[in-house]
Amino acid sequence: MNTTFGEYIRLLRNKNELTLTQLAAKLNLDSANLSKIENGKRDFDEKRLPKLAEIFKLDLTELRNEYVTDQIGKHIYETNCTKQLLQVAEEKAEYRRTLKEKAL
Amino acid sequence: MNTTFGEYIRLLRNKNELTLTQLAAKLNLDSANLSKIENGKRDFDEKRLPKLAEIFKLDLTELRNEYVTDQIGKHIYETNCTKQLLQVAEEKAEYRRTLKEKAL
DNA sequence: TATAAATTTGTCAATAAATGACAAGTCTTA
DNA sequence: TAAGACTTGTCATTTATTGACAAATTTATA
């Protein structure tokens, strides 16, 4: 899925022919704020993922993967992290996993 | 550098034979909080990177790379992001770059 | 074109998260 | 065992995020 998470929500919303107001209500969210989310001006709050999955009958795990990759993608983008540095970051994540093991 | 950023600071501090109190003072920071940073219980505040580079005579760009890869590595770790998903995240970062271009 | 719905933008108070500060504890070592 | 070094816990302060609402602007339609 090569969109931001906000664009993804908009896609889902349009496909299901819901207005901002309608979807916002289902998500227990202000429609103005949902607009900002779709336009990438605010983040979608992770705690609403289950509700979002329910509304559009999506697999929660997959949806969470969409969310996580969006968040990390954003982080990569905002920090100007190159592919080379990303490789280093991945190694550091791996290192943290080994730390965790040792702690047990 | 396969350490967390906190461990890296500790390494630098030990190599230069400074106590927590001494380094903390140079960084204008409480020594108890520096201890937490070194032990991964708090984050180092990005705005202190220039000072840190100055203290240890490091290249700021390289230091910032250490910092960024640590942060993203932590993000990857905390979200249990697999290599496969990380690839997706990288593509999404790339997508954001194209969005930015279009906006100009 | 008028008007109604849909969406966007701006603002600010409320809430949540990060940081600073300090006291009290443990660990080292001289 | 006393002093210095480090760690941990707590809490007030600061900063960032979110919720809520008013006021545009845009889009669709009569």
Over residues A42-101, the pLDDT tens digits come to 999 999 999 999 999 999 999 999 999 999 999 999 999 999 999 999 999 999 999 888
Q: What pLDDT is recorded for position A100?
A: 85
Residue type, B54: E
| CATH architecture of structural domain B5-103 | Orthogonal Bundle (1.10)
pLDDT surpassing 70 at residue A104: no
Q: What is the mean pLDDT of chain A?
A: 95
Instruction: Tell me which residues of chain B have a C-beta less than 8 Å from any C-beta of chain A.
Output: 1-4, 65, 68-77, 79, 81, 83, 85-86, 88-93, 95-97, 99
Whole-complex ipTM? 0.92
Whole-number pLDDT of residue B2: 83
The residue ranges of every structural domain in chain B are 5-103
Positions in chain B whose pLDDT score sits under 70 = 1, 104
Task: Evaluate whether B78 touches A89 at the Cβ level (below 8 Å).
Answer: no
Note the pLDDT of residue B7: 96
Q: Is the pLDDT of residue A1 over 80?
A: no
Contact A96, B74 (CB under 8 A): yes
What is the pTM for the complete model shown? 0.93
DSSP of A81-92: --HHHHHHHHHH
Q: Which of B69, B92, B99 sits opposite A89 (nearest CB)?
A: B69
Inspect the interface and report whether the beta carbons of A91 and B72 lie closer than 8 Å. Answer: no
Task: Reply yes or no on whether the pLDDT at A28 is more than 90.
Answer: yes
User: Which residues on chain B are in Cβ contact (under 8 Å) with A97?
Assistant: 77
**How distant is the Cα of A93 from the closest Cα of chain B, in angstroms?**
4
Q: How confident is the model at residue B101, as a pLDDT? A: 83
